Structure 1
Amino acid sequence: MIDIYCERTGPEFWSEPVNALTNVSFFAAFLLLLPVLRRHWPALSNANRMVSVVLMVLLLSICIGSFAFHTIATKPAMSADVIPISLFQLVFLAAYMHLAMGWGRLEVIAAMAAFFALGALCSALPLPLNGSQTYIAALVFLSILATSHHGHSQRHPKALWLAVACFTLALCFRTLDSLVCPLWPLGLHFLWHLTNGVVLYLCVQAYLDRVSSDTFK
């Protein structure tokens, strides 16, 4: 059993009921994105359709994997939680830079190498962030994409900046989770789930808006 959150007090399946059930935020994001994807679908290229489907599948996988980890709490369940999150980050960032921003392949490869390097550096630093330093690279690169989206998108220019704001808030909840245990045994990790559901919704919405806009065809 892996016990790293305030709410868990034992090895039982429902030892983290709030952390487990708040993964519904990812499923809610998936459901809310279905009509958005349907509306944009005719304007999407085949490549963007494939990326959109992959992101939607990963969104569901995040929901399932995180639920498994907060109930079973084993190493395989942790992998089921971490892998879809990592894949979502990689697919979204690479696809946004290449298909939405029009960066060349070498530029995207260089950017993704920088993303991995920053992620490795932050993970290696002994920062008192309760493990949240592993997401600093994602926050930095999301901010870079938000700057581009804000400067060019005509329909939802603030979507990615809202995602940046929500992700920053989510990281605060994740970081403070262990610190509030003595005062609030439930912890704050469930707020990380709820806020990240909004983050992922905004990211996919921004991507669909950007790649289906006539401005970028």
Structure 2
Amino acid sequence: MAEIYMYADETGDLDMTGSKGASAYFGFGTAVFEGDHGHALWEGLQLRCQLERRGVSLPQGLHAKNDSHTTRNEVFTLIQAQAPRFDTTFLLKENAYERVRAAGPMRLYKLAWYLHFKEIVRRVSAPGDTVYVIAASLTTNRKEGSARHALTDVCQQLSIDREIVLCVWNAPTSWGVQVADYALWAVQRVLEGRKCSWYEPCVEPTMATIFAPWGKK
């Protein structure tokens, strides 16, 4: 029996109205480390401290969307060396089913998590394993309690033959969540046809799945 550590983050917003400024996709991405990966966590802490020493203020941790080009380059270089398994699921919101639109934003959130997690948990673990799911607390809107319930419900549905331990933490507390965020950011840029020079060397080699059940832009 093995211990699997799955770090999860979400991307995009939950707006399905097509309003200006809304993201094209909503989705989840995970970075998976198997067994003891304390050294990887230590390297993430070291990098953050070294950046602070050089004058880069990171009170909220690393976030690909907000970090500078120089910081991104250092983070992606470390991610390339650590090489966790990446999986992503993107739902193109303009193709959302009417029943999903009618049910509202949290239905989209839970569906994205379900579609992602139900496949990936079976691919990265076996019956009898323990899977620690460290998920970033929701930052898209104020419905954090509803989001936690959605994550919990899906994990419980899929814990029949393996133990799933859900941890919902603020992203700045977890290097693994920040790694998942960086991978999501890179994949989303590629899906949207934008340049990302780090994707091929740092993310693609261990990118196991890019699932887009509602199509791509």
TM-score (norm 2): 0.28
Q: Which has the greater radius of gyration? A: 1
TM-score (norm 1): 0.28
Structure holding more helix per residue: 1
Compare relative contact order (CA 8 Å, sep 6+) and give the higher one, 1 or 2.
2
